[in-house]
Amino acid sequence: MRNSRQLNPPMRALLGAFLLLQMAAVSSEEPKPASAATKAANAQVLKELPFNDKADFENAQRGLIARPESLTIKDAKGNVVWDMEAYKKFIGLDKSAPDTVNPSLWRNAQLNMLYGLYKVTDNIFQVRGYDITNITYVKTNSGWIVFDPLISTETARAAHELVTKELGERPIQAVVYSHSHVDHYAGIKGIVSQADVDAGKVKIIAPEGFMEHAVSEMILAGNAMSRRAVFMYGAVLPRNAQGSVNAGLGQSNSTGTITMIPPTEIVSKTGTEITVDGVKMIFQMTPGTEAPAEMNTWFPQWDAMWMAENTTNTMHNILTLRGAQVRDPLVWAKYLNETIALYGGKVKVKFQSHHWPMWGNREIVDYWKKQRDLYKYIHDQTVNLLNKGYTGPEIADMIELPPELNDFWPNRGYYGTLRHNSRAVYQRYMGWYDSNPAHLDRLPPEKASKKYVEYMGGADAIMKRAKADFDKGDYRWVAEALNQLVFAEPDNTAAKNLLADTYEQLGYQAEAGTWRSEYLQAAFELRNGTPSSGGVNAASPDTIRAMSPEMLFDYLAVRLNGPKAAGKRIALNMNFPDLKKEYAVIVENGVLNYFPTPMTKPDATINIPKTVLDSIQLGETDLKSAVNQGDVKIDGDSDSFVQFVGLLDNFPFWFNIVTP
């Protein structure tokens, strides 16, 4: 079992990994400069890609209305939740890529640094660079329709203040959530109140399935995803040329207050029209693309297309590095083809929830086709190669995009990459097993590594050869070899430091912001150890309250310790009087099942309002206090409920990743 340090929040959402974590450890090994091999690799990128193409820089700067001189946003306690100044210290349009940053990633970071209020077209405006996501304002006859109100209330409020200052005070009449990812809805209460929504003053429009996926995504496996997201986003890395440069989709993620207001209107069919105060919107449903619940929006008055996150100016993820269910690139391509068929003949401007817009019908249709064909090529050629008998790692090392896709800047892999996306397609079709029986029942890393080290002649021999290969710039192999040594001898400081140096050079060469973060976060933890503080319970109160009892029971079933539950049978009725719902919950055969009708002879009946359960989940009270205060009543054998609670695990957040 991996070593870990225990944290005890009841659940943990992805946003926990986005927070800037205060680390107790002090680095004993400072970052190294770029090696000769890294300098050569990055110099080659400058020769291979069309850096003379400046169209993106023109588009990213077009329509600027206002930009504050500095941009640091704080919460009510004075904590910084968004800080462009940390990046401005070393990233600028007039600065060349440092040796420690892939020039293509540097170009992407320069573009993402262009923040402020921009005019997209008549009556459509965006605030960019106030979060990883854009917030979009569409002017109606007398107010605003807002698309995707960022991650945090603080950043959304700051963006709204900029819009109001420059464009005047206007009421928000509707908010559209384009899809179910947290960076597209969680800042809502920074610009809209629940009271105004309840009073009918503001509509909240979302695609079918939004609530289910927004609340449940990453709940069941959320703890592991959140820990891994620390690597994907480089949460603890310094903002400098040897640390975090950007996240590909934007500079970073804000770390403020997460909220939710449930939608008042659900869109379920392509072609659905909704008019808000003179502005007609026609929706294109795109479920199962970048998100399980997602939709594009067409504005016929201005021939303008909102692409949500179905096309951005980077290759997106078929499978995120933090972990998720594999997306279907074939479905993704199909919906982009539908976009072209429906709107390709009319579109004059396209804009989306990340990055900058594009203007011109010919340019946009060409862009859509190349984004469509990017995902279809990855799908088709991966399946082509797997049908020839190649495995996931082999395909990842073989597959190459044709020049017309590879050299197109919006297809470059700043967030997703060709290597890990092709492996995701393999996984979708073939699973983890490559049909080689040697891989059917492999030893776990720690046991296998000890045998590898023994077979390779011991630690000294490995270190000697690894240092020689490191000096040659053979970093991929050095990482493979030293990973075995570190897992065999986790206290071998020399091995950990050389492996950290290796990951660092791989990070300096990475084109993807996510890969750079993965490598550099690994180097950080090898040098400093696994962090032990800074984790938070980031499942927001609004998210907790939006959980249905069914979602809660699914989560409790995952928390149930099967070996401890073996041989036990516990039968409980759970009554939620405020919901007027009662459930049967049964633990037997080492699993938890639940049913929508109560049992006639339970061991105990637990009467607990959902609001009280929410307070317990949020740490506002505990079960014992709730029982003592009469908020929770237990009829029957109270020990059975105590025994049930004792079978539930709390998940450790800071489990080890790069060491056993």
pTM: 0.93
Helix (H), strand (E) at residue 330: helix 329-343
Domain boundaries along the sequence of the chain: 22-429, 442-528, 548-646
pLDDT tens digits along 127-139: 999 999 999 999 9
pLDDT in tens, 399-409: 999 999 999 99
d(CA 108, CA 414): 8
3-state DSSP of 136-197: EEEECCCCEEEECCCCCHHHHHHHHHHHHHHHCCCCEEEEECCECCHHHCCCHHHCCCHHHH
> What's the chain's average pLDDT?
93
Burial category of 424 from C-beta neighbours within 10 Å (exposed 0-12, middle 13-18, buried 19 and up): buried
The lowest-confidence range among 323-332, 366-375, 454-463, 619-628 is 619-628
Place of tokens 């007609």: 280
pLDDT of 391: 97
CA distances 505 to 25, 90, 101, 225, 474, Å, are: 22, 20, 10, 25, 10
Mean of pLDDT values over 178-204: 97
DSSP state of 651: P
Instruction: Check pLDDT > 70 for residue 27.
Output: no
What is the SS3 assignment for 457-510? CCHHHHHHHHHHHHHHCCHHHHHHHHHHHHHHCCCCHHHHHHHHHHHHHHHHHC
Of 386, 441, 351, which Cα lies nearest the Cα of 134?
351
pLDDT at 413 over 70: yes
Question: What is the tens place of the pLDDT at every residue in 519-554?
Answer: 999 999 999 999 886 544 446 788 888 889 999 999
451 vs 448, 454, 464, 660, CA distance in Å?
A: 5, 5, 18, 15
Equal CATH topology for 442-528 and 548-646: no
Q: How confident is the model at residue 218 (pLDDT cuts 50, 70, 90)?
A: low
Q: Given this model, what pLDDT does residue 4 score?
A: 42
The number of residues making up the chain comes to 660
pLDDT > 70 in the chain, percent: 94
pLDDT in tens, 504-519: 999 999 999 999 999 9
Q: How many CB atoms lie within 10 A of CB 409?
A: 19
pLDDT of residue 616: 84
Name the token pair of 551.
């979602």
Token pair, residue 338, equals: 């539908």
Q: Note whether 204 and 197 are within 8 A (CB).
A: yes
**Token couple for 389:** 């008998």
In 6-36, which positions are buried (b, 16+ CB within 10 angstroms) versus exposed (e)? Answer: ebebbbbbbbbbbbbbebeeeeebebbebbe
- Give domain 22-429's CATH superfamily: Metallo-beta-lactamase domain (3.60.15.30)
Is the pLDDT score of 382 beyond 90?
A: yes
> How many contiguous H segments (helices) and E segments (strands) does the chain have?
24, 21
Helix, strand, or coil (residue 581): strand
d(CA 555, CA 216): 9
Assigned superfamily of 442-528: Alkyl sulfatase, dimerisation domain (1.25.40.880)
Please name the residues in contact with 237: beta carbons below 8 A apart, sequence gap of 6 or more.
243, 244, 517, 520, 521, 524
CA 9 – CA 17 distance, rounded (Å): 14
Give the separation between CA 493 and CA 357, rounded to whole angstroms: 49
Helix (H, G, I), strand (E, B) or coil at 605: strand
**Residue 34 near residue 41, CB atoms below 8 Å:** no
Mean pLDDT along residues 36-57: 98
pLDDT attached to residue 28: 53
Q: Is 531 in contact with 6 (CB distance < 8 Å)?
A: no
Residue 619 — pLDDT band, cuts 50, 70, 90? confident
pLDDT at position 360 over 80? yes
- How far apart, in whole angstroms, are the C-alpha atoms of residue 147 and residue 357? 15
Q: Name 304's bridge partners.
A: 299, 349
Name the β-bridge partners of 296. Answer: 284
Cα distance between residue 92 and residue 601, in whole Å: 70
450 pLDDT exceeds 60? Answer: yes
Q: What is the 3-state secondary structure (H, E, C) of 250-314?
A: CCCCCCCCCCCCCCCEEECCCCCEEEECCEEEEEEECCCCCCCCEEEEEECCCCEEECCCCCCCC
C-alpha torsion sign, points 10, 14, 15, 18: positive
Residue 541 has what pLDDT?
A: 83
- What CATH architecture is 548-646? 2-Layer Sandwich (3.30)
- Chain segment 154-188, per-residue pLDDT in tens: 999 999 999 999 999 999 999 999 999 999 999 99
Which region holds residue 636: left if phi is over 0, alpha if psi is between -120 and 50, else beta? Answer: left
